[in-house]
């Protein structure tokens, strides 16, 4: 059997599934119709889904880094996380909270933390599912857990994470945040709730209501995917509010790419050119505002 090409309709259906507006059975039924057969759908599914085997761009044992699983105080209990620190830094460094998608703290996000550490930051990939026991191995279960997560408590845990990093002996006191998908939305929420946040970078993240924008202090960098109609529907209202309130921000639209274009473990949605450009902009932005 020749595997049919992946269409935009298939990617859109997967986006519905990953954001809990379509259950797995409904998604596979839709994918089967789009692919033409159950066998073709079964062949396409792994290309749409994230592949953990492709997660490690930076080796877990990279000699340039000290990386480990840690626990630290959250707002209402213990938080879990993965901390990556450059080994040979001569001075204290700025810190970055790396906030995961709605799959939780998985191998890909751990790898992003290592990448950020190699750029000269103390990077902490926090597990925002910690109050529910932490990220499970099963990604479907993780996605369902996000539907039960207390969002105000999650935002409070984000601020607790910022405070923990600001006081870390390896950190210069300045802390930013970078988030993807669910994590991008969390960056926007943290910018409202955390006046001491040094900078925020949101990749295809949901926006906060316009009436909350006046509370934002941190400079923001907002990355959006041109084909991401669901998230992009909120851009204009957010942009108008940011402009009206004189906020410092950069907004970058990457035409012709999909939601999650930065996730290099998902073959169908990853776009290397957009991901590389967004990453270079992100690193420059964080270095500028956290130095």
pLDDT tens column, 71-105? 999 999 999 999 999 998 889 999 999 999 999 99
Q: Which of 263, 259, 285 is nearest to 96 (CA)?
A: 285
Mean pLDDT of the chain: 91
- What residues are paired with 7 via a beta bridge? none
Which residues in 267-276 are b (16+ Cβ under 10 Å) and which e? ebbbbeebbe
Q: Structure pTM?
A: 0.88
For residue range 175-220, what is the model confidence (pLDDT) as tens digits?
999 999 999 999 999 999 999 999 999 999 999 999 999 999 999 9
Within its chain, how far is the Cα of 139 from the centroid?
15
**Residue 78 β-bridge partners:** 73
Chain centroid to CA 146: 14
Question: Does residue 36 contact residue 247 with C-beta atoms inside 8 Å?
Answer: no
Residues in the chain: 291
CATH architecture under which domain 59-290 falls: 3-Layer(aba) Sandwich (3.40)
Determine the Cα–Cα distance for residues 40 and 30; give it in Å rounded to an integer: 12
Measured CA distances, 42 to 36, 49, 81 (Å): 11, 11, 34
Q: Where are the beta strands (DSSP E) in the chain?
A: 65-73, 78-86, 93-99, 122-127, 171-180, 199-203, 220-225, 249-254
- Tokens, residue 20: 């809990």
Backbone angles phi, psi at 172, to 5 degrees: -80, 5
For the chain, 291 residues long, give each residue's pLDDT as a single digit of tens: 455 677 777 777 777 777 657 677 877 787 788 777 887 777 777 777 766 655 568 999 999 999 999 999 999 999 999 999 999 888 999 999 999 999 999 999 999 999 999 999 999 999 999 999 999 999 889 989 999 999 999 999 999 999 999 999 999 999 999 999 999 999 999 999 999 999 999 999 999 999 999 999 999 999 999 999 999 999 999 999 999 999 999 999 999 999 999 999 887 789 999 999 999 999 999 999 999
Would you give the end-to-end CA distance of the chain in angstroms?
A: 55
98 strand-pairing partners: 125, 178
Contact 65, 86 (CB under 8 A): yes
Burial class of residue 133, CB neighbours in 10 A (0-12, 13-18, 19+): exposed
- The residue extents of the domains of the chain are 8-48, 59-290
């Amino acid at each position: 059997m020749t595997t049919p090409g992946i269409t935009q309709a298939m990617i859109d259906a997967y986006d519905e599934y990953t954001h809990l507006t379509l259950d797995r059975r409904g998604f596979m039924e839709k994918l089967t119709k789009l692919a033409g057969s159950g066998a073709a759908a079964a062949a396409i599914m792994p290309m749409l889904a994230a592949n953990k085997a492709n997660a490690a761009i930076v080796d877990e044992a990279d000699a340039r880094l000290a990386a480990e699983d840690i626990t630290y105080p959250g707002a209402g209990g213990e938080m879990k996380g993965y901390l990556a620190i450059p080994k040979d830094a001569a001075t204290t460094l700025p810190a970055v909270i790396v906030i995961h998608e709605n799959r939780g703290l998985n191998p890909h996000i751990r790898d992003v933390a290592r990448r950020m550490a190699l750029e000269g930051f103390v990077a902490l990939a926090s597990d925002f599912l910690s109050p529910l026991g932490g990220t499970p191995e099963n990604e479907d279960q993780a996605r369902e857990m996000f539907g039960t997560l207390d969002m105000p408590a999650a935002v409070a845990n984000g601020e607790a994470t910022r405070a923990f990093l600001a006081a870390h002996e390896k950190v210069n006191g300045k802390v930013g945040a970078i988030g993807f998908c669910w994590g991008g939305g969390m960056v926007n929420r943290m910018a409202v709730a955390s006046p001491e946040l040094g900078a925020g970078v949101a990749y295809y993240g949901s926006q906060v209501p316009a009436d909350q924008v006046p509370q934002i202090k941190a400079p923001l960098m907002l990355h959006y995917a041109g084909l991401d109609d669901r998230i992009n529907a909120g851009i204009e209202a957010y942009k108008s509010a940011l402009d009206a309130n004189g906020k410092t921000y950069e907004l970058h639209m990457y035409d012709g790419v999909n939601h999650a274009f930065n996730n290099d473990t998902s073959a169908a949605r990853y776009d290397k050119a957009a991901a590389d450009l967004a990453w270079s902009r992100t690193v420059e932005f964080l270095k500028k505002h956290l130095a």
